[in-house]
Chain A
Amino acid sequence: MDPVLLVASIMVSATPILLAALGEMVVEKSGVLNLGVEGMMITGAVMGFAIAVSSGSPLLGFAGAAVSGAVLSLAFGFLTQYLLSNQVATGLGLTLVGLGLSALIGSNYEGQRAPALGKLDIPLLGDLPVLGRMLFSHDIMVYVSLALVAAVWAFLKFTRAGLILRAVGEDHASAHALGYKVVRVRLAAIAFGGACAGMGGAYVSLVRVPQWTEGMTAGAGWIALAIVVFASWRALGVLIGAYLFGGVTVIQLNLQAAGTTVPVELLSMSPYLITIIVLVIISARGAQGAPASLGRSFHASS
């Protein structure tokens, strides 16, 4: 098995879930649990594809996917933040809406071919003997996703806005008392999460497969939710988690292709079991990994 090709394949396979999970992590950091990732991803997948096909530009497709993911997520934001609906139920509803909507929009785009997103050949680095092919000859979105990981990490750790976001997620009542606009912060986080999920979906329809087919994200949004937990709400953890989850699939398929008999089901469930174990370890240490206000509605009653 060639490790160079393997790593390169894992990076492509993991990018959609990396993007979606990163967005969802920011949402959860602000104290909101949006279970509608799958719905936003599939909407991003169809909108990204449609825009890329009609404009001829894959990058415009990604931009459109981000916008449509964000718009859809704001429907969730409006319901949960202004009308104080239950986040779990609203998120599930968002998934239903996204799946239905995308299938209706996409019915004209079945069987079409998308414009290809070219590989970004980085001079010098791309010519390195092993690492060049492994790490430095991908398309631009792979690097965008990695850059976003770094940006989110820095944002949460070093900026004042990041601090406010975390404060809102940990204790919305205190944050409100300190004068922070809880609802606005959360809406911004939700929109960011929607945009990331939309781009993740577009990566499936524009690069990984590349075509539009109804229901094509096939549960990737739920995996993204698992990754956030696995990562215990840290940007670097999301990166590791996405590559681990993506890696298990790719390695399993490669082992089969290399003629090895593998217990497919055991391998496919292993990332989830590892996630539970990680979760137990975090909570056993006494540190609550999850933001304290996660999933609770906020209403300023004063």
Chain B
Amino acid sequence: MMRLEKRPQPSGYWTALTPILAVVLTMLVGGVMFWALGKPPVEAIRTIFWDPLFHPQFAAYSRPQLLVKAGPLILIAIGLSIGFRAGIWNIGAEGQYIMGAVTGAAVGLAFYPSESVLLFPLMVIAGALGGWAWAMIPAVLKTRFGTNEILVSLMLVYVAENILASASANWLRSPEGMGFPGSRNFKQWPAVFNDELIANTGMHWGVVTAFIAVIAAYVMMARHIAGFNVRLTGEAPRAARFSGVSPARIVFLCLGLSGVLAGMAGLFEVTGPAGQISIDFGSGYGFTAIIVAFLGRLNPFGILAAGLLMALTYIGGELAQLMLGLPGASIQLFQGMLLFFLLATDVFTNYRVRLVRREVA
């Protein structure tokens, strides 16, 4: 029979190999699905994975769009991954993302129609604080009462969604919108519009911040004492306590950091690609980022790659709908499969599969 034996250290060889294996498996099974739907499988797979990068007509536009789509995912996932390393499960990033956007937008709109150059930085700070404050609720409850942060942060997502609904229908509604829900559009307000910094690169402030966050997280986790304490808390909580690491401080650090990054992601999104606060602004980035964090193995550079891969399936999926008429649902299923295969093959990274003879008692 087969049994799993835990590796003393995750296998570097398998860490690199499993994502490729998972993508190949997804292509095979997904291809069968597309074939069953009566669509050309090879063409569908090529459209999803190849065309956004190299198609002569689309690539010039969709390559930068990969960054636009991946930016918030990476930014949020970086924050989450640090908490996950410490065993702190913030799954309410969606709420922090929404609150960052709402707070930042509210601060900005309070100064409408100011053209001050200070306004945008002020909004970024407000957005970061909004996300941070929302993440501090589970942090305080956890350290003060020992309340489970998974559940509190999840509950707060729904509270945030209702605040968003009320903001877009009520107190942030555009006075010029003829009664339709939705705030003023930041794209028509040059002072705060988070535009591409260099034309046709997709690089807006959110993407830049995401790249900085990747490097900063790498430095922190690999070189800095705070990162060491985070890892120690996650891997050996007792040892961490003996060496003087305060569990409460780690909780505040991790939740605070992920709240700040998620809040900033929300602010950059609302002032940039989304353009306005609207009822369906929360498009699930906070939840997808959890997936990205795991696909990236909680490693900053892994997350960078995973965020780009996830964005590729979104944009490639849209192209496949457009050009081959694939149903939208099949793309969703395809993404689900990719995640399942990655999680399934992950077992080889942490465990060794041994064939053993059944022992005779």
Instruction: Show the binding face of A for B, using Cβ within 8 Å.
Output: 33, 35, 75, 79, 83-86, 88-90, 92-94, 96-104, 107, 214, 222, 225-226, 229, 265-266, 268-269, 272-273, 275-276, 279-280, 283-284, 288-290, 294-295, 299, 301
Contact = CB atoms under 8 A, between A and B. Distances in A.
A298 to B, nearest CB: 12
Contact of B151 (A101, A229, A273): A229
A284 B332 contact: no
B350 A269 contact: no
A284 B146 CA distance: 7
B191 interface: no
B336 A96 contact: yes
A97 B329 contact: no
Nearest to B328: A103
Interface string B162-176: 110110000000000
Interface in B143-159: 145-148, 150-152, 154-156, 158-159
Interface in B282-341: 287, 290-291, 294, 327-337, 339-340
B334 A86 contact: no
Contacts of A94: 336
Determine chain A's interface SS by DSSP, over half rule.
helix
21 contacts: A84-B347, A85-B344, A88-B91, A89-B294, A92-B291, A93-B340, A94-B336, A100-B332, A104-B329, A222-B158, A229-B155, A265-B166, A269-B163, A272-B156, A275-B155, A276-B155, A279-B155, A280-B145, A284-B146, A294-B148, A299-B6
Given A89-B343, A226-B154, A265 B333 contact: no
Contacts of A100: 329-336
Given A100-B334, A276-B156, A299-B6, A90 B343 contact: yes
A40 B320 CA distance: 27
Contacts of B290: 88-89, 92
Contacts of A294: 148
Given A85-B346, A92-B287, A104-B327, A97 B89 contact: no
B141 interface: yes
Given A93-B336, A272-B159, A279-B152, A104 B166 contact: no
Contacts of A93: 291, 336, 339-340, 343
Contact of A75 (B141, B158, B340): B340
Contacts of A301: 6
Interface string B124-154: 0000000000000000010001111011101
B6 A283 contact: no
Interface of B: 4, 6, 37, 89, 91, 141, 145-148, 150-152, 154-156, 158-159, 162-163, 165-166, 287, 290-291, 294, 327-337, 339-340, 343-344, 346-347, 350-351
Contacts of A289: 148
A268 B159 CA distance: 8
Contact of B351 (A84, A90, A214): A84
Contacts of A276: 141, 152, 155-156
Given A101-B333, A214-B329, A301-B6, A269 B158 contact: yes
Contacts of B287: 92
A52 B292 CA distance: 38
Given A79-B343, A88-B91, A279-B147, A226 B291 contact: no
A268 B4 contact: no
A272 B152 CA distance: 9
Contacts of B333: 96-97, 100-101, 104
A280 B347 contact: no
B163 A265 contact: yes
Contact of A273 (B91, B150, B159, B335): B159
